[in-house]
Chains A and B, each alone.
Chain A
Amino acid sequence: MSARIPLVGKPIERIEDRKLLLGRGSFADDIHRDGMLHAAILRSSVGHGLIRHIDVSAARALEGVHAVFSAEEIGRPVPRIPVRLFPNDGMDPFRQPVIADGKVRFVGEPIAIVIADTPAIAEDALELIEVDIEVFPAVTSIAAAVAGPALLFESHGSNRIFGYEIRRDELADIFETAAYTRRERLYVHRHTGITMETRGVVAEWNAADGYMRCWGAVKVPFANRKILAGMLDLPEDKVEMIEGNAGGSFGVRGEFFPEDFLIPFAARKLGRPVKWIEDRREHLLAITHARDVECDIAIACDGDGHILGIRADMRMNIGAYFRTSTTIAPRNVGQFVPGPYRVPAYSADVAVIASNKSPSGTYRGPGRFEADFFRERMLDLAADDLGIDRVEFRRRNLLTEAELPKPFPAITPNPVVTELDSGAYEHVLDLCLAKANWADKQHLQGKLVDGRYHGLAVCCFVEGGAAGPRESARMVLEDDGTISLYVGSSAVGQGVETILTQIAADAMELPLDAIRVFHGSTTYVKEGWGSYHSRSTVMGGNAVLLAAAEIKSQMLAAGAGLLQCSGQEVSYENGRVIAQHGGSVGLKELAGKDIAFEATFHNSKHTYTYGSHVAHVAVDAETGHIEIVDYVAIEDAGRIINPLTLHGQAVGSIVQGLGGALLEHFVYDEDGQMLSGSLADYLVPLATDFPNIRTSSIELRPSPNHPLGAKGAGEGGTIPVGGLLANAVAAALRDFHVQPTELPLSPDRIWRLVQDAPAQSGA
């Protein structure tokens, strides 16, 4: 039999695309159910206050309105959203209620929900609800929240509501004795991964069976099923989450939001299907926000530029409440400052600060984008101060392969042990420099060419992936000899269907079209986890390998029976069970033998993709505008399943990082009003903004921690961008001695930095 060419590693066009291109996708708002009603939500227009009184009578009386619910009707105590990741009892008082009860703490917080015949009537009814709110002073900035006196949670007595300590070795007196130290205050502004499809929920209650079905699930359908079942007091198997197509996640969408309770609640109460589709303003106000962290950071080096220690004192503004994934960024920002570098002594304290802004949580590269900005800025400042070339400075401090695996600094509370797994950090740095023509371009540093100053910067990063604990995959041999693969991984646009099909087809030695992947319902596997922390390929892929191994042995046993020989006398090849005596049976003949298996892959070890990026910028000192002249990125993903989709992830995540570094910004005023509540104000990258991006993914050091060898990728592109761009701008404007300490690098900020620069020269 001819050798089968593996599909893993090939740029296979996506299976997902066809439906989407034909306009036959199934997004939340595409769901129409018989008798369906529509919901609209009244949200707080006040950043901080106390609800004195709500009068819904006029809204209820409007023709076409079926119900209006506030905390009163939902019943007290109002359910509160749990912390899904790294929960801690200390967070309990700060969890978000699914509807405001008493206090409101951010603009956009749900106060009441209207259910009506049409979305337009529901929206009309919102205007008829009278809410009397006693307005309190708000706090939005970290400084204001720390200073008070306004408190989000009065009984707690402070807006500092939690904290983490991260330590590696004692700093002792390093800062007193080191040859060189420098201290800075740095800040990464609030922005997030807004998705093109806004959130949406359709819920349908079947009273006879006591069964709740919800459409619109994204990212973590199994976790949300568990949370919802608990809130509705239903067994988990009486709640089904259906994930159709999901118009993006980036970590922010798909967590459990208030509406994920409110809509099913209304559907059950009214006995009719209910749909709610978020509008863009609601999305910007209430989607998971991210970043918003300041850092007092100090670095100590010896005279040769070896880092001796780093000390960081951080404050992360998480907004009004803890939600499902809020813990991740404050943990990561503390743990990822050392990155791929040798930082012998390290200490970070991260204070979690509450303010009257939207609650925050995970967004692509959570905490790592921020940590990399802090670290890479400090490295360039230190290198310059010490008169050491910036590349050379990094070489001296990058971890060598001999030093891996390298444990992360320890974190408390909720400690987890994780370590950098494998990597040739300096080698990839060299590859990146070569591809970017770094050496040839050094003469451009700080140079004025046609009215713009040129600057280049380079940085190195690590990206965590493959979060455990488990992922499931169930394979079933169907009557027609094809294989159905049911997975717990979810699709958020990353191409998981294609990738898992490739892995399964190779494992079963079959063509692509012999495998059909089913994902997107919590009924498909007993337990599933979803798509976050760049985990679908590694976790889902390994679960597929396990399932394939088991059903192959089932096939061998069944085939041996049919071929009337022993299990030792048969082998499996390209979808056939072959007997030593020459006979064979195909999968069709084995169908009906109940060949099926659900496998669970367990993993507690993370993977760490790593790489380097180079940016070449041209800065107009008069307008503050920054052009990306060239952007080069190389990452080692360990093993590449599909170069086409991986490249797509890499470019997309870099552009999102550039958006975060240069354009995107949630601006709040002192009263907690958001000033960037439309896509005309919250600027995202457009097709004309960043055309010059060159990225490649390589397979240099597979992850030693699991059979597939792939490392979670998809967030790495975002992580280094903030620090890299700030360093490139500093290089371009070096004659002005401009040192950006805050993001975004918006034209007005750059212009102001130039105006305020200690020394004017050039133009």
Chain B
Amino acid sequence: MKMRIEFELNGKPVSAEVEPRLTLGDCIRHELLQTGTHIGCEHGVCGACTVIVEGDAVRSCLTLAVQAAGKRVQTVEGLANGDNLAPLQQSFQKHHGLQCGFCTPGFLMTAHALLTHEPAADEERIREVLSGNVCRCTGYLSIVKAVMDARPAYQANKAVQS
């Protein structure tokens, strides 16, 4: 028994026919074919699937697609301005904050939500929030640096949409 849902994805209205048991992550990836969001565990531990719903970082593997109906959803595909990397993404590149890149969309969305709410977050706060995401390649030092270094852009609130 499928249901029809509509929501806003990266600023554009989208709709999908989904079974009630379909997760938001699978809906975005396999129904709407936006594959930037990654699924690493399906049990809420790794954070790879993090997307932003109404301004808050959520785990799309634990959220049902039907729960997103009528809401504003942002994924990694909505971070850049066209082909121009957002300051947060640039900072990841500069500090080598990614190796295989599988965890990266989750880290970007977690950090984007954090810095949007708390543009002056200190290192400890950043580490603590990022500790909800698993990266197996980098050892995290470069990710933490990249997020810290992106703060001025959020403080200036320029070139960043929430």
For B162, the chain A residues whose CB sits under 8 A away are none
Q: Is residue A67 within 8 Å, beta carbon to beta carbon, of the partner chain?
A: no
Q: Report the Cα distance A18→B85, complex, angstroms.
A: 8
- The contact string, 1 if C-beta is below 8 Å from chain A, for chain B 106-146, is 00100000000000000000011011011111111111100
Q: Is residue A236 within 8 Å, beta carbon to beta carbon, of the partner chain?
A: no
For B143, the chain A residues whose CB sits under 8 A away are 687
For A16, the chain B residues whose CB sits under 8 A away are 101
**Contact A197 B77, beta carbon cutoff 8 Å:** no
Query: Which residues in window 659-698 of A have CB below 8 A to B?
Result: 678-680, 684-691, 693
The total of Cβ contacts below 8 Å across the A-B interface reads 172
**Contact B102 A691, beta carbon cutoff 8 Å:** no
**Contact B140 A655, beta carbon cutoff 8 Å:** yes
Looking at B52-60, B63-71, B86-94, B151-159, the stretch in contact with chain A turns out to be B86-94
Q: Is residue B14 within 8 Å, beta carbon to beta carbon, of the partner chain?
A: no
- The contact string, 1 if C-beta is below 8 Å from chain B, for chain A 17-55, is 110111111010110100000000000000000000000
For B128, the chain A residues whose CB sits under 8 A away are 687-688
Q: Is residue A84 within 8 Å, beta carbon to beta carbon, of the partner chain?
A: no
**Contact A250 B136, beta carbon cutoff 8 Å:** yes
**Contact B101 A247, beta carbon cutoff 8 Å:** yes
**Contact A248 B137, beta carbon cutoff 8 Å:** yes
**Contact A29 B21, beta carbon cutoff 8 Å:** no
**Contact B102 A14, beta carbon cutoff 8 Å:** no
Q: Report the Cα distance A193→B136, complex, angstroms.
A: 8
Q: Is residue B100 within 8 Å, beta carbon to beta carbon, of the partner chain?
A: yes
Task: Give the dominant DSSP class at A's interface.
Answer: loop
The contact of A651 among B35, B39, B141, by CB within 8 Å, is B141
CB proximity of A250 to chain B, nearest CB, Å: 7
**Contact A22 B108, beta carbon cutoff 8 Å:** no
**Contact A194 B136, beta carbon cutoff 8 Å:** yes
Given contacts A648-B99, A652-B137, contact A20 B41 (CB under 8 A): no
For B35, the chain A residues whose CB sits under 8 A away are 23, 25, 27, 29-30
Q: Is residue A495 within 8 Å, beta carbon to beta carbon, of the partner chain?
A: yes
Q: Is residue A280 within 8 Å, beta carbon to beta carbon, of the partner chain?
A: yes
**Contact B131 A687, beta carbon cutoff 8 Å:** yes
**Contact A686 B134, beta carbon cutoff 8 Å:** yes
Q: Can you name the residue of chain B whose Cβ is closest to the Cβ of A280?
A: B41
- The contact string, 1 if C-beta is below 8 Å from chain B, for chain A 252-276, is 0000000000000000000000000
CB proximity of A289 to chain B, nearest CB, Å: 16
For B98, the chain A residues whose CB sits under 8 A away are 17, 20-21
Q: Report the Cα distance A342→B47, complex, angstroms.
A: 47
For B34, the chain A residues whose CB sits under 8 A away are 23
Given contacts A120-B21, A645-B96, contact A25 B101 (CB under 8 A): yes
For A195, the chain B residues whose CB sits under 8 A away are 100, 102, 136
Q: Report the Cα distance A647→B103, complex, angstroms.
A: 19
Query: Which residues in window 683-731 of A have CB below 8 A to B?
Result: 684-691, 693
Q: Report the Cα distance A27→B76, complex, angstroms.
A: 15
Q: Report the Cα distance A374→B136, complex, angstroms.
A: 26
The contact of A280 among B19, B40, B89, B103, by CB within 8 Å, is B40
Query: Which residues in window 195-254 of A have CB below 8 A to B?
Result: 195-198, 245-248, 250
**Contact B139 A690, beta carbon cutoff 8 Å:** yes
Q: Is residue A563 within 8 Å, beta carbon to beta carbon, of the partner chain?
A: no
Q: Is residue A654 within 8 Å, beta carbon to beta carbon, of the partner chain?
A: yes
The contact of B85 among A21, A247, A648, by CB within 8 Å, is A21
Given contacts A250-B136, A687-B130, contact A21 B92 (CB under 8 A): yes
CB proximity of B92 to chain A, nearest CB, Å: 6
CB proximity of B35 to chain A, nearest CB, Å: 4
**Contact A14 B41, beta carbon cutoff 8 Å:** no
Q: Report the Cα distance A25→B36, complex, angstroms.
A: 7
Q: Can you name the residue of chain B whose Cβ is closest to the Cβ of A284?
A: B41
Q: Can you name the residue of chain A whose Cβ is closest to the Cβ of B21?
A: A120
Q: Report the Cα distance A691→B130, complex, angstroms.
A: 12
**Contact A656 B93, beta carbon cutoff 8 Å:** no
Given contacts A23-B77, A651-B138, A655-B140, contact A248 B100 (CB under 8 A): yes
For A245, the chain B residues whose CB sits under 8 A away are 100-102
Q: Report the Cα distance A21→B83, complex, angstroms.
A: 11
Given contacts A680-B43, A687-B131, contact A197 B33 (CB under 8 A): no
The contact of B40 among A14, A18, A21, A198, by CB within 8 Å, is A198
**Contact A652 B85, beta carbon cutoff 8 Å:** no
For B133, the chain A residues whose CB sits under 8 A away are 687
For A87, the chain B residues whose CB sits under 8 A away are none
**Contact A196 B40, beta carbon cutoff 8 Å:** yes
**Contact B140 A196, beta carbon cutoff 8 Å:** no
Q: Report the Cα distance A250→B135, complex, angstroms.
A: 13
Q: Report the Cα distance A174→B105, complex, angstroms.
A: 59
Q: Report the Cα distance A120→B30, complex, angstroms.
A: 13
Of the A-B pairs whose beta carbons lie under 8 Å apart in the complex, a sample of 18, sorted by A's number, is A21-B98, A22-B89, A24-B77, A25-B101, A29-B39, A30-B29, A120-B19, A193-B136, A195-B100, A196-B137, A248-B100, A248-B137, A494-B99, A678-B41, A679-B46, A686-B131, A688-B128, A691-B140
**Which residues of B does A touch, CB under 8 Å?**
19, 21, 29-30, 33-43, 45-46, 48, 75-77, 79-80, 83, 85, 89, 92-94, 96, 98-105, 108, 127-128, 130-131, 133-144
**Which residues of A does B touch, CB under 8 Å?**
13-14, 16-18, 20-25, 27, 29-30, 32, 120, 193-198, 245-248, 250, 279-280, 492-495, 644-645, 647-649, 651-656, 678-680, 684-691, 693
Which 7 residue pairs across A and B have the least CB separation, nearest first?
A23-B36, A493-B100, A247-B102, A20-B101, A655-B139, A23-B76, A493-B99
Known contacts A23-B79, A684-B136, A685-B140; 5 additional CB pairs below 8 A are: A21-B104, A29-B39, A247-B38, A651-B142, A691-B144
